Amino acid sequence: MSLRGAAYVAGAFEHPDRIIPDKPVEQVHAEVAAGALADAGLTFADVDAYYCAGDAPGMGGVSMADYMGLKLSHIDSTETGGSSYVVHVGHAAAAIKAGKCKVALITLAGLPRQDSANLVSRVSAAPESAFETVYGTSVHGMYALCARRHMYEYGTTGEQLAEIKVAAAHHAQYNEHALRRETVTVEDVLNSPMVSDPLHRLDCCVITDGGGAVVVVAPDVARDLDRQCVKILGHGEAPKHTRNGRPDLTSTGAVWSGPAAFAEAGVTPADIDYASIYDSFTITVLMTLEDLGFCEKGKGGQFVSGGALQAPYGKLPFNTDGGGLCNNHPGNRGGMTKILEAVRQLRGEAHPQVQVPDCELALAHGTGGSIATRMGSSTLILGREDA
């Protein structure tokens, strides 16, 4: 069963706020849900499937269905960290193709700025935690382990990692909602304080409250809507873990989710006009670009140099909303915003300064968990409605 053309993204919405001190997380879920449904020209009454991840409160999908008054024939709360929402789009398309539902709502919301203690997440009961967290495995520290190993094996440099932040910041200056809108240079990144050697502060994503939502619909529903929809062409998902204590630290689950998505879509990396690449850290982007096949393994540093990632005319414009590095990383989960900017690009609704001309094919990739231990990776390939 191929998902190519099985469903469409009809609605997309990003919460405009980055600091939300006065709302509970369920309210933010409901606000982004309403925003995405309104964008599609649909209402809560049209929704018959709901998807959420670990950021949803209480009993997850059941609690949120109660809060939003949804009557559902399909529900899924797959949790793969920040990539969950990219996974959900694939699962929603499969459920639609199987005839289980017609209008699937996917939401993300998080408020880490309300409770920074929660940054050290709730994995204390995980089977591996006694052998990792006791050593002070901060998120940035673990990604730094990968950056160091990538530098050792392939000669990747801090300057090359900095190019990724420079491109993201170039895009963020045009996003009025971005948390950080100032442009930066390679030197700015290298001169920012060392957080976890070799990663500097500006190699790290922002921490924001907020959320986002998308609505995935069946082809016949898409046809009846006035809104320009985006066609789902291919999807892949794959957890990658420590492989019995032998992690390589230089590749991500994209080595599996990427080829699956490209095969289903019937396209190659060279065909992609725009890419949303999960950017928890600069090293996440560099390794993912290699793993998705945009360049040879180990050549990511060369690939990202010289403005290659800058819209509109770089060879692979990426994260034109400013990404998690500058714009938004709601709830420490960046998968949803990756989908949202890909949808904007395909609709021609990105900021004019960063809109990729004649954007027909886009990729959105999520990486949840930690690339230094275990992660959930998911790749989505989207096309214009007429693709």
- Closest to another protein by CB, 133 vs 183, is 133
What is the DSSP secondary-structure string of 89-123?
HHHHHHHHHTTS-SEEEEEEEE-TTT-GGGGS-S-
Sign of the alpha-carbon torsion through 246, 371, 381, 55: positive
- Closest to another protein by CB, 82 vs 211, is 82
Kindly identify the residues of this chain, within the stretch 17-56, that bind another protein according to CB under 8 A. Answer: none
Q: Is 65 in the site for another protein (CB under 8 A)?
A: no
Q: How far is the CB of 195 from another protein (least distance, A)?
A: 5
- Closest to another protein by CB, 320 vs 332, is 332
- Cis before residue 198, ω within 30 degrees of 0? yes
Task: Output DSSP code: residue 315.
Answer: S
- Tokens 């409605």 correspond to 385
Question: Considering only residues 149, 177, 181, 297, which one is a binding residue for another protein as defined by CB under 8 A?
Answer: 149
Residue 243: CA count within 13 A, CB half-sphere = 11
Query: Both ends of the chain: CA-CA distance in Å?
Result: 19
Kindly identify the residues of this chain, within the stretch 100-129, that bind another protein according to CB under 8 A. Answer: 119-120, 124-125, 127-129
Measured CA to CA in angstroms, residue 321 lies from 135, 163, 201, 295, 317 at distances of 35, 16, 20, 23, 11
Q: Is 161 in the site for another protein (CB under 8 A)?
A: no
Q: Is 280 in the site for another protein (CB under 8 A)?
A: no
Q: Is 194 in the site for another protein (CB under 8 A)?
A: yes
Kindly identify the residues of this chain, within the stretch 239-258, that bind another protein according to CB under 8 A. Answer: 242-247, 249
- Cis before residue 312, ω within 30 degrees of 0? yes
Q: Is 196 in the site for another protein (CB under 8 A)?
A: yes
Whole-angstrom distance, CA of residue 294 vs CA of residue 316: 9
Q: How far is CA 250 from the centre of its chain?
A: 20
Q: Is 205 in the site for another protein (CB under 8 A)?
A: no
Q: Which stretch binds another protein (CB under 8 A): 37-45, 137-145, 262-270, 343-351?
A: 137-145
- Closest to another protein by CB, 15 vs 165, is 165
- Closest to another protein by CB, 201 vs 223, is 201
Q: Is 134 in the site for another protein (CB under 8 A)?
A: yes
Whole-angstrom distance, CA of residue 240 vs CA of residue 124: 20
- Closest to another protein by CB, 33 vs 249, is 249
Contacts with another protein by CB under 8 A lie at: 119-120, 124-125, 127-138, 140-142, 144-149, 152, 193-199, 242-247, 249, 372-373
